[in-house]
Chain A
């Protein structure tokens, strides 16, 4: 026993599991020197300890404060007399008064052990709530050989961070400790008992539903247990649990258990899947932890089972779960598991087909199946020691007063306490001081021994030397310098020992001084008097004192690490002192100095508890550590890559924003805004979440199979080929699609809505899962156990196959699956898997087939009676039936081929006929088209001729009516090169130079030519119009030998029309006179030309007094004019002619002229029309719109030529 417990951690580990029969309920105490010296390996008894405690408390009244015995300020040798004042015999073991516990002295070995109750160990795990988080993985682990050993391990392992595996808890109402296997191949007693208890029909049905629900809740995607048609079929099939149907009309479900069959009901519990899954996890780096986890658990379990003497019972059956422990187990789940459980349970209950997707996603993302739980809180009642401390405040330097006042951190609720020893306890302090001083004396006298190990020390200890102190010093040495190494020389060892010795002594001295000073009432009273209110920042002593306090704190911490040798009260006192020392070191308020203000209203009835921030917090002592001060003074700045840190109040040069204040460039407005249709927004459906489209990244490599996996696949394939049941096929698929890429997310029909709804109506989902899960676990454990035993018993040569590194799609042959065939096949398979001859090629059922068809479950439902009859005939000859089968298949194939050939022939014939018909039709259409074309052409020709004739006739008629004729030669001809140059020069002339004068006397400048005439789209101005029209009139008059006052052709300016409109004919006398139009001669005038400019549009009004007509030629209206204009003209004529006006003679006519289609040529139209009218030509046949760009240049040249003379003469038209 003393050799045990190498380190405190491991001792703690094993302590809870070790049983020591001698001590039943002994409180652990500090090492008792007397006892340890008396019996080297004895355990302190309760009486010893209580006596010691009683003595120490009895001594208290004599020494009201520790200070009475120690000089507080000087832990120097001057103090030692005080220590020495303790009578020597007090420390002798013989005197009971000397039983003052040497507090910090490491106690004897073995340390006393706190034991659980003496009842034999029965672990009550929390009942298995079938949490949906339970993963296939978990069940998979259950299948491993160590599964049963791990059963009770997880909550018991007192490792600080216990990994809690959720799956391994179950609740079985069965009280029988172990199912005793009766006959191999038959049901276990557990199974039988349960079945008998519940009634056969109900049991099978509910068990099946439980399994289904369990799969469903886990989102597992493997197949469900098969249901066979008859008991024979079920017996022939494989699997641990086999369900079958009885009764033809009212069908009932039965279940039978085959103990010798190791195939569990479900794929996800199979080893194949387990290995694949583990390999996947391993690639994520999570496997290692899991392995160590299992190893740890297995170890502890092994040690436990080795300790247990009862070899007959190798499995501990959990006691029935208490309903109350539900809450406990619920607390064990982390928040995540709870939330996830709620969500997936909700989804599951809703029966949504999302379940399987969820399961896959969970596999995809979560990966791990166990929850890591922090069990600190759980342990609070038993092991962990809780200390109180003030909440850590913001990291500030000690120079500045911390914390803003408006923030209520609860500090104001603190008041000074009455007594600084109140929190720790006076007697604890007293005991510590005594113990320290005792040890100090021992050290001072040198009554210790060093050694390489504790066992070494124990063996070499002599009577006058103190074992506990020696061990403590040894521990301290290990704590400071690490374990003593065998290769160290003796000198080094001695040096280390001496150093440790002096450091230990110094620490003892400092500790005593610390306690004397800090927990002294007088000192505290002074402090209270000085500061009426507790300070946030309390500086005690100078820097050296605070450093010493830190060292003392570390020493206390070391003492706390010897927790298995120290009783709990002392441990707690030490932990609290560590906190105090830490507070002193950090210049904070000591928790021992303050207490929470008593609120008198809290006790009153009706008090409403408010959610107050408490400054005090509970911290596990093991978590508390002394941290250096500078950690808080210079907190690490948070990493900030992208921007520099700017504190509020900092100023920073910001560059002036560029381009913001500039006016934006003004763009020319587009000539005409085009109407652009607003493009329609394409709306996308937004509910498609990225998760639903998730495709695993391609860089994750496809799995490379190990030989074991290949072997497993071959096995699964064989099973699928032979058994042809759904389960095996699914297993095969699962083993093939190990890589997640091929994992299709398509829904399987096993969770179709109908089944779910039925199920929901029948019962709650979790009910059966809870009810049967423990039972199933037990069954499976039995199975595993048997498998293990079998494996050990007969080390059969396993099937060795060459590993396949590539996944191969193996076509499944379509085989008739009848019960009888399957039974045979199952036998075949069993033989094959065990013999090395079972390669796929040799298997007679493994012929590659032409066509691959999914197995038809229809065949299952045939009447077994007829099938049995059928097979009874050739029951003995399997070969024959196989040959027959092949023959039948061949026949069917031939028949199908023949039928397809005939069908193809018929099809071909029909197609040929159709093609011929189409060709004929096309030919007819083509002919028709050609005929129509010819006809049309003939008609067109005729039309053209007719049109020409009609035009001619019309023109004649028109000419007869209006006196207009067709021109004998083209009116608008090309300019000569000379004139071209002149026109160009005019356009480039000096803008201020007068280029030419019109007849009116108006000078024309470059602007008139360059801007108002020559550009093809320029709008003409009045200068050009008037000038040209005056030239026309001038030419006519000159040609006909008329004078200005007796003209043959009179022209007005464009301002004439405006004046006529404004002032009436009476206001135009001056202009009429000037134009030479009078009552006397108007009827002799051939043509009067009046250009009109109205609304930016040039038109021409023409009066032909010889013909007694007035007209208005608007190029936009192809010659016809405005009747208002014509009326005005008639009015003018009437005014001129006065009484000679004969109403009946005069008429308003419309001439035909080319139509203007653009937006700029109306001026040129007007002039050209004027020319035509003056010459008596029909404008319609004289020019076209396209010639008018040339006409512009001709007009310019004519203006420069000052009239229609020379090259521009109008003679000959």
Chain B
């Protein structure tokens, strides 16, 4: 462990570790067919996650909507602003279009 800590991030982890809420969250992104798990920081913009998911699934970002408990997730949102917790789920919905 010591070796690892020394090699990986000398000094800094020791400072950060006591602050619990800042650590990584495991977020599940699902669109009923696929489930993708992301591990992100609390302050990371969810745009990154959404782009990654779209790329992974080969979808256009404009045609999907990410919802967190029914609320639309904007690209500028972070887990913090949405008060997300570890293990929360982002639902991916299709863009709603209607005419007739």
- A residues contacting B by CB (< 8 A) are 1000-1003, 1005, 1007, 1012, 1017-1022, 1025-1026, 1053-1056, 1058-1059, 1063, 1067-1068, 1070-1071, 1074, 1093-1094, 1096-1098, 1116, 1158-1163
CB of A1181, distance to nearest CB on chain B (Å): 24
Q: A1000-B72, A1021-B95 are in contact. List 19 more A-B contacts (CB 8 A).
A: A1001-B74, A1001-B76, A1005-B62, A1018-B99, A1020-B97, A1053-B71, A1054-B96, A1055-B70, A1055-B72, A1058-B70, A1067-B69, A1067-B70, A1071-B69, A1093-B96, A1093-B97, A1094-B98, A1096-B97, A1097-B98, A1163-B98
CB proximity to A under 8 Å, residues B50-92:
62, 65, 67, 69-72, 74-77
Cα distance, A1094 to B77, chains bound together (Å): 27
Taking A1096-B100, A1159-B99 as contacts, is the C-beta distance between A1022 and B65 under 8 angstroms?
Answer: yes
Q: Is B39 an interface residue (CB 8 A)?
A: no
CB of B28, distance to nearest CB on chain A (Å): 17
Please give, as numbers and ranges, the residues of chain B lying within 8 Å of A1163 by CB-CB distance: 98-99
Among A1002, A1094, A1159, chain B packs the most CB atoms within 10 A around the CB of A1002
Please give, as numbers and ranges, the residues of chain B lying within 8 Å of A1007 by CB-CB distance: 62
Q: Contact check: which of A1017, A1067, A1070, A1162 meets B98 at CB < 8 Å? A: A1162
Could you tell me if A1160 and B65 are in contact, using CB atoms closer than 8 angstroms? no
Please give, as numbers and ranges, the residues of chain A lying within 8 Å of B69 by CB-CB distance: 1059, 1067, 1070-1071
Cα distance, A1018 to B97, chains bound together (Å): 10
Could you tell me if B100 and A1003 are in contact, using CB atoms closer than 8 angstroms? no
Among B62, B74, B93, B96, chain A packs the most CB atoms within 10 A around the CB of B96
Cα distance, A1096 to B65, chains bound together (Å): 16
If over half of B's interface residues share one DSSP class (helix, strand or loop), that class is named, otherwise mixed; here it is loop
Could you tell me if A1019 and B62 are in contact, using CB atoms closer than 8 angstroms? no
Please give, as numbers and ranges, the residues of chain B lying within 8 Å of A1056 by CB-CB distance: 70
Can you give 19 contacting A-B residue pairs, CB < 8 Å?
A: A1019-B97, A1019-B99, A1020-B97, A1020-B99, A1022-B65, A1053-B72, A1055-B67, A1055-B72, A1056-B70, A1058-B70, A1074-B71, A1097-B98, A1098-B98, A1098-B99, A1116-B100, A1159-B100, A1160-B100, A1161-B99, A1162-B99
Please give, as numbers and ranges, the residues of chain A lying within 8 Å of B95 by CB-CB distance: 1021-1022
Cα distance, A1067 to B69, chains bound together (Å): 8
Closest to A1068 in B: B70
Closest to B62 in A: A1007
Taking A1055-B65, A1055-B67 as contacts, is the C-beta distance between A1002 and B72 under 8 angstroms?
Answer: yes
CB of A1008, distance to nearest CB on chain B (Å): 8
Closest to A1098 in B: B98
Could you tell me if B98 and A1020 are in contact, using CB atoms closer than 8 angstroms? yes
Closest to B83 in A: A1070
Cα distance, A36 to B74, chains bound together (Å): 144
CB proximity to A under 8 Å, residues B28-56:
none
Could you tell me if A1003 and B71 are in contact, using CB atoms closer than 8 angstroms? no
Could you tell me if B72 and A1160 are in contact, using CB atoms closer than 8 angstroms? no
Cα distance, A1012 to B62, chains bound together (Å): 12
Closest to A1063 in B: B70
Q: List the 8 closest A-B pairs by CB distance, nearest first.
A: A1019-B99, A1059-B70, A1022-B96, A1093-B96, A1159-B100, A1001-B74, A1098-B98, A1160-B99
Among A1025, A1055, A1059, A1097, chain B packs the most CB atoms within 10 A around the CB of A1055
CB of B52, distance to nearest CB on chain A (Å): 19
Cα distance, A1000 to B70, chains bound together (Å): 13
Please give, as numbers and ranges, the residues of chain B lying within 8 Å of A1098 by CB-CB distance: 98-99
Please give, as numbers and ranges, the residues of chain B lying within 8 Å of A1003 by CB-CB distance: 75
Please give, as numbers and ranges, the residues of chain A lying within 8 Å of B72 by CB-CB distance: 1000, 1002, 1026, 1053, 1055
Could you tell me if A1071 and B75 are in contact, using CB atoms closer than 8 angstroms? no
Q: Contact check: which of B62, B74, B93, B96 meets A1000 at CB < 8 Å? A: B74
Cα distance, A1071 to B82, chains bound together (Å): 12
Please give, as numbers and ranges, the residues of chain B lying within 8 Å of A1055 by CB-CB distance: 65, 67, 70-72, 93, 96
Cα distance, A1067 to B68, chains bound together (Å): 11
Taking A1007-B62, A1055-B65 as contacts, is the C-beta distance between A1096 and B70 under 8 angstroms?
Answer: no
Cα distance, A1097 to B97, chains bound together (Å): 8
Cα distance, A1063 to B65, chains bound together (Å): 18
CB of A599, distance to nearest CB on chain B (Å): 92
Closest to A1093 in B: B96
Taking A1003-B75, A1055-B93 as contacts, is the C-beta distance between A1019 and B98 under 8 angstroms?
Answer: yes
Closest to A1017 in B: B99
Please give, as numbers and ranges, the residues of chain A lying within 8 Å of B100 by CB-CB distance: 1019, 1096-1097, 1116, 1158-1160, 1162
Please give, as numbers and ranges, the residues of chain B lying within 8 Å of A1005 by CB-CB distance: 62
CB of B70, distance to nearest CB on chain A (Å): 4
Please give, as numbers and ranges, the residues of chain B lying within 8 Å of A1162 by CB-CB distance: 98-100
